[in-house]
Amino acid sequence: MSMTIIAFINKAKIPSKLELEAQIRTLGYNFKFNENFNLFDEFGGDCELNGQKTFIEVYFIKKEELDDLSSLDEDLESYDSAFSFIWGADSIAGACISIISVALIDLCNSKILFEDFEVWYDREKLLNEIPMFLEEKNTSLRKVKKIKLPVDKKNKIEKITNIIIWSLLVITTILMNRKIISWHIPSLVLAFILIKSIIETNKK
Interacting residues of 180 by C-beta distance below 8 A, sequence separation 6+: none
Is pLDDT above 70 for 41?
no
Per-residue model confidence (pLDDT) at position 22: 95
Query: What's the chain's Rg over C-alpha atoms?
Result: 30
Closest CA to 96 of 11, 168, 167, 30: 30
Q: Going by C-beta distance under 8 Å and a sequence separation of 6 or more, which residues neighbour residue 91?
A: 133, 134, 136, 137, 140
Residues contacting 8, CB < 8 A, separation 6+: 63, 76, 79, 81, 82, 110, 111, 112, 113
pLDDT (tens digit per residue) in 9-36: 998 999 988 999 999 999 999 999 988 8
Buried b (16+ CB within 10 A) or exposed e, 153-180: eeeeeeeeeeeeeeeebeebbeebeeee
Digit-coded pLDDT (tens) for 44-89: 789 999 899 999 999 888 877 776 665 676 778 888 889 999 998 8
- Distances in Å between the Cα of 152 and the Cα atoms of 54, 164, 201 are 27, 19, 19
> Of 166, 157, 156, nearest to 193 (Cα)?
166
